[in-house]
Amino acid sequence: MIKISENVSDISDSDKTYLKTEEFFGEATPLKNCEKFGGFRYEERPQQKNMALQIAESFEGGKNLCVEAPTGIGKSFAYLVPSVFFALANEKPVLITTETISLQEQLIEKDIPLLQSLMKDEFKAALAKGRANYLCRRRLSLSGGRLGEVQLFDDAVQSSVEKISIWSNRTQTGDISEISFTFDRKAWDFVCCEGGNCLGQKCSGFKNCFYWKARKTWETADILVANHALFFTNLKITMEEKFETSLLPDYCAVVFDEAHVMEGDAAEHLGLRISKIGFDIFLKKLFNPETGKGFLVRGGVREAELRARIDSIAKLSAGYFRKLSSLLSEKNTDCLRLRKTGLATDTVSEEIYSFSKHLAEMAKTETDENYRQELESYTMKTEFYADAFYRFSNMTFENYVYWIESNSAKENGRIELFAAPVKVKELLNKIIFNNPRPVILASATLSVGGDLEYYCGRVGYCNGEKSILDTLFDYQRQMKIYISKVVPEPNDAEYLDLMCEEIRKYTSITHGKAFVLFTSYDLLRKCAAKLRCFFAEKGIKLLVQGENLSRNSMLKEFRGDTDSVIFGAASFWAGVDVPGESLSNVIITKLPFDVPSHPLIQARSELIEAGGGDSFKNYLLPEAVLKFRQGIGRLIRNKRDTGIVAILDKRILTKNYGRVFLNSIPKCHIEVSS
């Protein structure tokens, strides 16, 4: 820890962050007054204070910190308190970035307001969102439905635009999250704020612009909360030096909460993704020949020529995606890695680029300022698509893996194209961790085998300390684990029947109140079909991911009905918080190994093998252990929670690597059944 000067007045404001943090978590901590302000009942948590002081020390030293903070220690307050002091001292915000909306809402609606009531130092906080979340009044007036006597959109979109127009007169923020009525999401694309068509201060509505009003609050905030998607999108834009300098104001430090997903989020947002559906929708926004509606519906020779070119591009892209669909069909797969150019012959980019040049020329001579700005925006978007198709088809990104995916190998309408960096750690090491601004990485599950080496190696972490904090929970009392040896290998004829029998057995113990976690949607659907009647007879509500409800709606139903069961896949293994009796049982149907044949997993494995490593031991196994820990971590969320975990994959007992999983489980009573 840092040395404390005897004369506090000799210490700079920035260096007082540690002292102020230490005082806040001292014997007279303001946290004792939480209940007075509608917060939680205070209980001393040494781990929370320890984490807060480590962060304060990292801030002052300009160093990074990677910390595993188990559930229950109050990590949000542990990083918020030193962040407030550091931000005030530097007169710049500290950026807090999270993966899930639920954590953002907790910070903005609960934790930060409570902290503002408790702290003597006044501070401001704001939630940063991408432009597309905000309504643009200028675009709304342009998209009021008509250009002259011509209707721009089909009736469904037109109706939604009119609803949004009425809402625009009463909203204070213009934030899409405020909208409570149903509407066609395509309508929002026509009226939301976008970087490419923003006039900025030249816009007549600039002073009342929802987005720029929000930006002003970001600029004056001390704590700025964002999500990982915006963080990495901003990072990509600043790396490429296109469009805007930055989507976020200058900040003095960043706290990366839910950091266990950092590598995956970085690969996704720093990579390339083209959806056939998305591209088709984009073209139809310009002109839809089936309805005769779209942005280019004005009369005149130029618009007619451009509409004809859209039809040509649509036919070329249909052929392009049809070719890729046939590749999937030939290989009888829904996911195919492209290892060399030529398989996806570029028949599209040149025509799209030529079209963008014509749009640009048209924009130069357009006298209607609003219409011209839209044309310039569409020009930028067509240039993006031309560049994306060219880069994907010709594999121009070095050290990237390229692949195509479809929800159905026979349905080319769902095809998506991907390119992702394989060496994410090198990018992150250079642009995040070798940076003057301190970076704090925090999550409940980062360690494998009792240390942070694996995780830090994957994300390129350097220039800082590593810390694993102790848990507050008494797992010996709060949790019991059952390991079943009944379910055979998946290729066994009795696999599905015995899997369902074990799910019946363990959900009956708690009469529902369970998450049943799957690693594949196929097995999830099959088990749901076989068990639906069983749950109905037992009076247990079955909620199945991928059916009628969104994840948030499923969780709301689950919390409201204590006799219910969720069958969930990937998104239910992490980032879901259900304290109390509602969740008393977590059933893990299979150890969560990634599919080794997936192109991105395959490419990462090849990179490890090429360097002399073992891809299973050095990548697939530790990744599975982290996901396994996250799954088990859904059960115990506070000191009052109790429940059981059932593991239905006997490999945890029969395979040598099973010991790695067992060693990752908190010490508790384990019972093996056969």
pLDDT by residue (tens digit) across 86-129? 999 999 999 999 998 888 989 999 999 999 999 999 999 999 99
Output Rg (C-alpha) for the chain, integer angstroms.
27
Residues 375 and 363: their CA atoms lie apart, in Å, by 6
CB of 478 within 8 A of CB of 442? no
CB of 595 within 8 A of CB of 225? no
What residues have CB less than 8 Å from 277, skipping those under 6 apart? Answer: 413, 414
Percent helix, strand, coil in the chain, to 5, is 50, 15, 35
The answer to which of 114-128, 176-190, 344-358 has the lowest mean pLDDT is 176-190
393-410 per-position pLDDT tens digit? 999 999 999 999 997 534
Q: Residue 568 is encoded by which pair of tokens?
A: 């969930």
Q: How many CB atoms lie within 10 A of CB 163?
A: 16
Average pLDDT over residues 552-577: 92
- In the chain, pLDDT over 70 holds for what percent of residues? 94
The answer to which of 46-50, 327-331, 418-422 has the lowest mean pLDDT is 327-331
- Asked whether residue 197 carries a pLDDT value surpassing 60, the answer given is yes
Q: Residue 92 is encoded by which pair of tokens?
A: 């710049």
pLDDT at 15: 64
143-157 per-position pLDDT tens digit? 554 444 455 667 778
pLDDT at 8: 42
Residue 175's φ and ψ, nearest 5 degrees, are: -85, 130
DSSP SS3 for 288: strand
DSSP SS3 for 614: coil
pLDDT at 223: 98
Q: Residue 135 is encoded by which pair of tokens?
A: 């309504």
> Residue 404's beta-bridge partner residues?
336, 417
pLDDT at 9: 45
Average pLDDT over residues 289-313: 81
Tokens 């194209």 correspond to what residue? Answer: 417
- Asked whether residue 386 carries a pLDDT value surpassing 90, the answer given is yes
Q: Which of 274, 244, 268, 293 is nearest to 352 (CA)?
A: 274
598-625 per-position pLDDT tens digit? 999 999 999 999 999 999 999 999 999 9
457-477 per-position pLDDT tens digit? 999 999 999 999 999 999 999
Average pLDDT over residues 624-636: 96
Residues 443 and 437: their CA atoms lie apart, in Å, by 20
- Asked whether residue 14 carries a pLDDT value surpassing 80, the answer given is no
pLDDT at 101: 84
- Asked whether residue 1 carries a pLDDT value surpassing 60, the answer given is no
Instruction: Spell out where 569-642 has E strands.
Output: 585-588
Ramachandran area for residue 418 (φ above 0: left; ψ -120 to 50: alpha; else beta): beta
What residues have CB less than 8 Å from 526, skipping those under 6 apart? Answer: 496
pLDDT at 7: 43
pLDDT at 143: 57
Our CA dihedral for 182, 183, 189, 194, rounded to 10 degrees, sits at: -40
Going by pLDDT thresholds of 50, 70 and 90, the confidence category of residue 241 is: low
pLDDT at 73: 94
pLDDT at 195: 78
- Asked whether residue 37 carries a pLDDT value surpassing 50, the answer given is yes
Residues 219 and 356: their CA atoms lie apart, in Å, by 35
Average pLDDT over residues 347-366: 92
DSSP SS3 for 29: coil
pLDDT at 185: 85
CB of 423 within 8 A of CB of 607? yes
pLDDT at 336: 94
Length of the chain, in residues: 674
Going by pLDDT thresholds of 50, 70 and 90, the confidence category of residue 412 is: very low
Going by pLDDT thresholds of 50, 70 and 90, the confidence category of residue 646 is: very high
pLDDT at 189: 87
Average pLDDT over residues 137-147: 68
Cα 411 to its chain centre, rounded Å, is 27
